[in-house]
Amino acid sequence: MAVHEIRLCREALIGCFTKDTEPLITVSSGDSIRFQAPDAAWGGGPSYKERVKPFARRDKLDGGHALIGPICIENAKRGMTLAIQFNRIVPGKYGFTCAGQYPNWQNQKLHLTEYQEITIDWTLDKENMEGSCRMNDAAYSVPLNPFMGVIGMPPEEEGIHSTWPPRFCGGNIDCKELVTGSTLYLPVPVDGGYLAIGDGHAAQGDGEVSCQAIECPMDEVEVTIHLLEDLRLAYPRADTPAGWLAFGFHEDLNEATVYALDGMLDLMGELYGLDRVQAMALGSAVIDLRVTQIVNGVKGVHACLPHGAMKRVQV
């Protein structure tokens, strides 16, 4: 099994999902990929104040987040499942969070105006896994919980696809549970997969309420990928330190919830040999429904089954 090192450069980045371009690299099932990543806005540097934007964007391909890719997976066929295991996620030295700058329903409802726009400059201490900032002559700190916000492949349709929404094949999932030690399972939508990963987050709460997490570059990310030929999924799922997750995406939060719960009922059937009504009845005691994010146009919900929450006992 090979380890592919991707050097951070202009040629390693793309700002969309597409299969209509040459892949950055081609890898095999079982291979690992190690890379650095700029922040989602294509910037980097030693601190937010010294942040630079060294990578020029192409008109058609780079309208979205700065992603590493696309990565072609040898022998990947539509209908298979791609497992992406996160071995290591190390944030850079700075992060930033903005609020108030997006004129949308959320700001209007919360009485946020353009005159309240702010950007928080975070210093990231990756040794102690703590982020710190100053605001109103006070200091604040939060624990770091780094993960990648965008992981996905292009849908079946030809052309260029935005990095902004989450889809059945991944995208801007923004799930804070996808930390080191997690494995994300995505349906493969097109032959070759054409995987892309980016949008480093140092920490985020469920919902990503300001439209941004602590956005940051990543000093090191390492993933291992596996093709699963016999697993067929309609929506993503993940095995994380917090538990098993099943995702649902839709413009309507209620519909996203139904998709997430549907995926969890399928998973419980596989794990415990339950039919759907049995899984629903038992799951009502142990499944947590969480709002992944509400800010990407297409909203996200993940159903969580904590590890060890339910055990099958011999009688």
Return all residues near 181 (Cβ < 8 A) that are at least 6 apart: 86, 240, 241
Mark whether 151 and 114 lie in a shared domain: no
Mark whether 267 and 155 lie in a shared domain: no
Mark whether 71 and 88 lie in a shared domain: yes
* 30 in a structural domain: yes
Mark whether 151 and 50 lie in a shared domain: yes
Counting the structural domains of the chain, the total is 3
CA distances from 267 to 239, 261, 278, 279 (A): 11, 10, 12, 9
Mark whether 125 and 73 lie in a shared domain: no
DSSP state of 56: P
Q: Read off the pTM.
A: 0.95
CA atoms of 214 and 208, how far apart (whole Å): 10
Q: How far is CA 62 from the centre of its chain?
A: 18
Q: What is the pLDDT of residue 162?
A: 97
Mark whether 90 and 102 lie in a shared domain: no
Return all residues near 58 (Cβ < 8 A) that are at least 6 apart: 15
Q: Summarize pLDDT for 193-218 with one digit per residue, the tens.
A: 999 999 999 999 999 998 899 999 99
Q: What is the pLDDT of residue 49?
A: 80
Longest dimension (CA), the chain: 65
CA distances from 289 to 236, 248, 269, 275 (A): 15, 10, 18, 20
CA-closest candidate to residue 104, choices 294, 301, 300, 302? 294
Mark whether 181 and 298 lie in a shared domain: no
**Full residue range of the structural domain in which residue 269 is found:** 242-305
Mark whether 170 and 297 lie in a shared domain: no
Q: Summarize pLDDT for 1-58 with one digit per residue, the tens.
A: 899 999 999 999 999 999 999 999 999 999 999 999 999 889 888 888 888 777 889 9
| CATH code, domain with 272 | 3.10.28.20
* 67 in a structural domain: yes
